[in-house]
Structure 1
Amino acid sequence: MPSRVLSPDAVEPVAWRNGAGATRQLVDDPGGWRLSVADLEVDAAFSDFTGLDRVFLPLVDVVLSIDGERRAVARGTAVEFRGEAKVAVELVAGPGRAVNLMTVRGRCSGGLAAIPRSEWEEQTARSEWDEGQPGVFVDLGEVVVEVRISYST
């Protein structure tokens, strides 16, 4: 059984650091990682988070501009980039949400994977999750996002 299933709807939104939107912070772990769900309502630049590595998983189709390179990103696809990169998101399919994972470079790293709810429920019922490393999951309705954290040694 998963160790933690988090719901962004149980958390009050707060303004983004750059004032261009809102986020719901789910985890701020002293071990060096932060997990949040952003409400994407308009095209916007991302805030600078020098020294952190980021994983961004949109739940709608978007175009990301990362250091001037435009890249179409399909919903449910995770993209990794450095926190100091110049990043902007363009909403091509309208408003939606995105899961954001930030890790302290050199202390830990992480990943995100979107799992259809039906598949997640089947795997949970059969206890197929790695017992040695129980996961953190974000419940987003039709999709559940698995969060993986690895600590540097």
Structure 2
Amino acid sequence: MPSVTRLTPADHRRVPWKNGGGVTTELAVEPMADGRFLWRVSIADVVEPGPFSAFPGYDRLIAVVEGDGMRLSVDGAPPVERHRMDPAFAFPGEAPVWCEPTAGPIRDVNLMLDRASATGALTLLTGPASGCADGRRVDGHRAGGAVVLVHALAGTLTVTLDGAGALSVPVGHSLLLRDAAALVEVEAAAEGVCAEVRLR
């Protein structure tokens, strides 16, 4: 049966990085019996260059949502740059990663997935006149899967479940959907993120 759970900032949990280099804010997480998690969506502030924590057995998707951007060096490969609201960048959680903000502190959103159990996608949503440098925008996004997490970064998002009414998601809040399909719409100048988890 489909289910819908509203999450407010009071539901968020501040968690130290595994390497001690900072703190991440968990928007939502699904624990497993062995102490690992099946998936996690979180937001982290990066204020200075440094390594990422290692998460063996996980696939990671990351995107910059505040600040200019970051430069990632993954497992010795040439550095990759991602700027604010660029498409998410995927990499293996066990790979050594060095992160360097390109012009001051940034905030990024992360989707982590237990590789043996799940796949997923991380989509950034921007409404008209939201200020994306290259003019791109996504006014509506069809989402579905075992789990869908919709989080409002700015303004208000509207989530319409198939066969049901519309739900508003204000800034800083999230909507957690299970076994449901929905249309996520973004009002003018609003921004958000949609994480979709599919079980293997």
CA distance in 1 between partners of 2:9 and 2:51 (Å): 22
Structure number with the higher strand fraction is 2
Matches within 5 A, 1:2-151: 3=4, 6=7, 11-30=12-31, 32-59=38-65, 60=67, 61-69=69-77, 70-76=79-85, 77-118=87-128, 123=140, 129-130=142-143, 135-141=148-154, 142-151=190-199
CA distance in 1 between partners of 2:51 and 2:198 (Å): 28
- Determine if contact 2:26/2:43 at 8 Å carries over to the other structure: yes
**Deviations 1:51-86 (CA, angstroms, capped at 9, x unpaired):** 111111112411001012211112222011111101
Relative to structure 1, is the Cα distance of residues 8 and 87 closer, same or farther in structure 2, using a 3 angstrom cutoff?
farther
- Determine if contact 1:8/1:37 at 8 Å carries over to the other structure: no
What TM-score, normalized by structure 2, do the two folds share?
0.63
Superposed CA RMSD: 2.7
Which AA in structure 2 matches 1:150? R
What TM-score, normalized by structure 1, do the two folds share?
0.81
- Determine if contact 1:6/1:136 at 8 Å carries over to the other structure: no
Query: Which is higher, the Rg of structure 1 or of structure 2?
Result: 2
- Determine if contact 1:21/1:41 at 8 Å carries over to the other structure: no
CA distance in 2 between partners of 1:130 and 1:79 (Å): 19
Percent of aligned pairs sharing the same letter: 32
Partner SS for 2:27: strand
- Determine if contact 2:60/2:112 at 8 Å carries over to the other structure: yes
User: Could you tell me how far 1:100 is from its partner in structure 2?
Assistant: 0.8
Comparing 27-36 and 133-142, the one that deviates more? 133-142
- Any stretches of 5+ residues in structure 1 without a counterpart? none
Structure number with the higher helix fraction is 1
CA distance in 2 between partners of 1:116 and 1:134 (Å): 21
- Determine if contact 1:136/1:146 at 8 Å carries over to the other structure: yes
